Every structure is written in C-alpha cells, then in structure tokens.
Amino acid sequence: MTAGRAEQEEPKMTFHPLDPLSGPEFTRAAAVLGRAHGVGEGWRFASIELVEPPRAAIAAFENDGVLPERRARAVVLERASNTTWVAVVSLDTDRVVEWGEVPGVQANFTVDEWEEADTALRAHPEVVAALAKRGITDLEHVFIDTWTYGDAVIPDKYRGLRLGWADVWVRAGAGANPYAGPVSGLHFVIDVNTMNLLEVEDTFTVDPPAVMGEYVPHLVPERIRKASTRPPLKPLDIVQPEGPSFSLDGNLVQWQNWSLRVGFNYREGMTLHQVTYTDAGRVRPIANRLSFAEMVVPYRDPSVDHFRRTAFDIGEWGLGFMTTSLELGCDCLGEIRYLDAVLHNSAGEPYTIPNAFCIHEEDNAVLWKHVDHDGGAEVRRMRRLVVSFHVTVANYEYLVYWRFYQDGNIECEVRATGIMVVTHLAAGQPHPNGTLVDERTYAPFHQHFIVARLDLDIDGPSNTVYRSETRIEPIDAGNPLGLALTQQNTPIETEGFDDFDWNTQRAWKVVNEKTPNGLGTPVSYKLVPGGAIPSFFHASAPALQRAQVIGHTVWVTPNDSGERWPCGEFVNQSGVDHGLPEWIQAGRTVRDTDVVLWYTFGIHHITRPEEWPVMPADIVSFWLKPVGFFDRNPSLDVEPSPAHCAPGMEHAGHDHADHDHAGHDHHDGAVADHQHENGHTAPDATSTEPRRTA
C-alpha cells in the first residue's frame, strides 16, 4: 500500500506559546521542584502540564512578538504522608511561583503505580496462595489490573489511604487474550502509596468454562478459521502524488480555509486551539479551544465483581498518559503527517510518544450535486481534513477524530473498540445485568459518557447560547392541514444545564448577536447532538453524585480558565462533584459573553455476542454546523475533480476500469477513507513534515 513519498523537507518548528511542553521543560520543572521543595525520592509527579497563557498574552505574541512567560503546573504526591500538592513553576526564571497543599484529595493515578501494583501483587505470598487455591500456579500468565475507588465503596477501615482494587485475569497461553480469563470472585485491595496488600477478597469460585476468547489469528482455533467464507480483498491504494493539500508548521495546521493548532496534555490528550475559517479573505474565529474534559464509564452490574467499576478515564488516569502511537496503513491510511507527543513518568522524567497524532485528508463521497432536467449536471467531491489520536484505557480503545469540511462543518467522532469485561457464571446462573457472549460468560451492561468542552468563539468571544427547537403549530384557520412548523430560539441568559428533547429536536446555537451576516441575521454555529443518552441513574446514586455532568446533555458557563474539569479536578476517590454543579450556583450571566458549552454524549452499551472476543468499533459523533455564519454555501468555489467530473467530460466515454476506480467509496477499518487518484484538486500548500511510505 502506498501511503506517501520517501523524500522530505526539513520540518519547520516555529514556536508558539500554545505549544505543549517539551522534554527539557518537563525536566526543568521537576528539577525546580526538587531544589525548592525536595520533590524527589518518596514523591510522585501525578501530572505536569503547560499553563496556557491568557488570550491577551497570546495576542501580544502574535501581533508584536512579545513572548509570554512559560509556566508549568504540577500535581505532586508525597507518598509517606499521602498528601497532594499543587505547584506552578516559571520555566523562564526557574522558580516556584505557587505552592500549596490540597487537603482531603487524591491525585490521579499514574501508569507507574498501575505497573508497580501488578508487580507487587503477583509477588505477594497471599496472592500466590489465593491463586494456587484456584489451581493457578503459572504466574507468568497472570494479569492484575488495578482500578481506582469512589468514595461510596471505600471500606471505612481504609479511609485516608490511597487505594486501589484489582481484578485478576489469566491468559490461556503466551500472547493470549487475558480478558478472556477472568478469575471471578477474587479481588485484591492495595495501598498504592506503600504497595502493601491490605486484603484478599475471595468471595466465590466458578469452574472456568471453555471459552473462545482469542482474536489474534494464530490463536483462533482452526475450526473457526476454516469456517470463514470471506473472499479476499484486492489492494486499495490511496495516492496523492503531489502530496497533501494541507501544511504543517510546528503544531499549526492549515488546509483549504481552515487553520488550527494542535495541543496536548496528560489529561485531555489532544486539544485543538484557535480554530478559524478564512472567508473571502477575512480570518473568522470559530473556536478558541476544543477538548474532552471527562469520560465517565459506569458499569451497571451490582455484582461483587463489578459494583466498584466506575471509571473516570480522564480525571483518574488521563487520556494523554493513555495515548498510543499510530501506525501507517493500520490506524491511518493515505498521505499522512504525524506529530509526536511528549509526556513524563511519575519521577518527572520525559518520554516521547511517536506518531501520537495523525493528520490527513480523506475523500468523503459527494459534497454537492444537482442534475438539471435538460441533462446538465454539476457535482463536487467532498474532501475533509482529519486530525486524530487513539488511546488505550485497560481493556478499551477510544479513537478520536476531529474532521473539518469544506462547507464549514466540524464533526467530532469517537470510536470505541477493544475488549469487553466479562465474568464467568455457574451453570444455570442468571445474568440480568449483562449479555451472554460465550459459554457461561457474560459481559455486563455499562455506559460511556464523554464530556466535550467546547470553548467556541463565533466571530469573537462575545457569544450567547440559544436553545433551538421545532414547534408543531396547532391546526387552525391559518394552518388547516396541520403542516406548519416553526422554529423557536430561546437565549440562555444564566449559567446552568439543559437536556435533549426528541419531541422538539432540541439543539443549541452559539450566536454572536453583534455580528450580522449579509442577510442581516446574527451569525452562529449549531451543536447538532448525537449520542445524547440519559444517565439512567436514580438521583441519589453515588456514581451520579460524583459525576452530575452526565445527568444533563448540555451545560453553559462563562469561560473561566480555572473551570476545566466538569466533575472537579480530583475525582480519584471522590464522593461529590466539585465541578459544574458547584460552579453554576453563582448564577452568572451567559448572555453576550465568553461562554463554554459542555456537551455530554456517549454510548449506552447493551453488550452483544457479536462484540466478543474483540469489539468492532461502536461509533458516536456530534457536529458543529454553521447557521447563518456564511451568507450562502461556502463550498461553491470547490473545484470539480480534474477527471470525469470536469465540464465537457462525457461519462459514457469511460471504460469499465475508470468507472470502477472513480466511482466507489472505500473504507479502512479505523476511519472512512475515500481517496481517488483522479480526485485531486491542486494542492494549496506543501507540508514540511516527513512523508512516510509503507
């Protein structure tokens, strides 16, 4: 498969104040805290991230070249006292400018703690004995997966400790799927600061059934492999012989009329900044910052194996720490440009995630088309720019795609794949809270709630969010056939929450009331909801109390740089949501001001046998669509494809091979890719990132 060209130019590395922290900056921040406060042995760096400069400082840099102070914020944990501290370090002056303890909280878990817990537990004699009691003596195939606690399920005798609870899994052999071999009824409680085993919970046993939980081809039984009747696919080559049409200058991406910056941090993973669209020569802001602020995954099974299983994948672990390298031809297909990401371990030492972000173009079928009655036709192919990253959080993968379209649309898509958690059953045992997916094996029902933090700037920061609903007008003299629909647009004046309504097809528009379009109406972008699911929790349920954001579809608040985490900054072992429900108590105005739209969407996962032993991607998305932002279709100027669709080309003159090549939409397994050799428009820029060839 051809994916690029080997020759390359030296990449530009233009600095910008929103660029993520570099390896030397992580090292410098850790060293400053070591000198000033003894942060070193016996401590953990739970997180280090860039303190993003305020808008005024960024504007001063872009207008006059004035460099804002480069700062890093760190959350550190002193293990012996189990205390959490927050620091801000000036990387320009090598000094600590803020330092303080945050009492009564637990910092996010680190990858090092997860790995160290597995090592400590598998070496503990009580663990070895508990496994041997069940006939498990080959510890090489044992996998121990430590989860965090919520306050409501912490045993009173362990309060005040940094706790983890662990599942146990056993592989059938070398390289086999560990999640196919749950050791049901056996869990360990561990003090993660000391790595001391606190308790072995051995509640019940189940004779392991004969399951087929393998998905790696050579481990799938021959009888299943031989039963396949799928014919082979012919090669699908995606070729852009002149290179892609976007440019990459450091972290700045420009394509067609779009411009945006790619950021990154330990918690949100990839972030997008300064999203603009150039309209008839005028650079128009659309979004200041786009990111995912929380991901809540409650399992809806009260059994002993699952009652504690509510994950805050962003707040407890961090999408940045879970980001994985992308592979050409597998995760991304086509003429790809990659960006690396840099993070740190719990000692504050930096490391690089190669190919963390994938940037490429995709053909996406027809953009617009019309065939006149006299036989004349105009058709344009749709091309889109995709910026993506993937994360692996234990058994699940989340694949995130931000897509930018030539007609001004923005789509955010998430694909969930990976392996479902399963539990073995005794013969005849009911499983009301899950689906049978294998012999005496069920996968519990659960939900994936993702909270997008949408800091939109529609033609500037002064915006108002409107609830937009369709109303059925009554049958009367003016509407005798009951045909009339009207659209009601109601401004949200005060911060708070709102819910999706199927009956009115409720959506939300972010409007700049001070900027009219050429038709005299205010410009706006609309959040078109997708995957808006109810929480299905009782109001008093502890999981909802610590994640109240999932109880409503949309929240609107004034923009505040200190209000980033909808469930509060410290959700590990939390019992109360210290984020959005507390912030909105201030009753601040959100009319004609800098607002943030928080959107909760996700997957109501009623598990299926077809998702075992590995889950095909479940897809959910939402859109940001211009509504009166432009005076007319902004993609009128898209050029026709050079071959077949250009004026004067006769379709009847194509041979079969050309028809087949130009007329099909192709998909790769991770994201729809519809590229055509004959579908190029002239490149508007040349990337300076290395071109990679598979």
Residues in CB range of 43: below 8 A, 6 or more apart: 76, 77, 78, 79
For the chain, the distance separating the N- and C-terminal CA atoms, rounded to the nearest angstrom, is 6
Would you put residue 440 in left (φ > 0), alpha (ψ -120 to 50) or beta?
left
Per annotation, catalytic residue among 277, 396, 401, 466 = 396
Smallest Cα–Cα separation from 238: which of 684, 686, 665? 665
Cβ-based neighbour number of residue 367 at 10 Å: 18
Per annotation, catalytic residue among 301, 305, 313, 455 = 313
Identify the residue whose tokens are 């960006």.
339
> What is the C-alpha separation between 121 and 677, in angstroms, rounded?
55
Cα dihedral: 211, 212, 213, 217 (round 10)? 160
* Catalytic residue list contains 442: no
Residue 624: exposed, middle, or buried by beta-carbon count in 10 A (0-12, 13-18, 19+)?
buried
Cα dihedral: 148, 152, 154, 156 (round 10)? 160
> What is the C-alpha separation between 50 and 72, in angstroms, rounded?
5
CB 71 within 8 A of CB 91: yes
In eight-state DSSP terms, residue 254 is E
* Catalytic residue list contains 313: yes
Residues in CB range of 522: below 8 A, 6 or more apart: 511, 512, 513, 514, 515, 516, 628
3 state SS of 119: helix
In eight-state DSSP terms, residue 660 is H
Tokens (6 digits) for 556: 């609107």
Q: Which residues form the catalytic set?
A: 313, 396
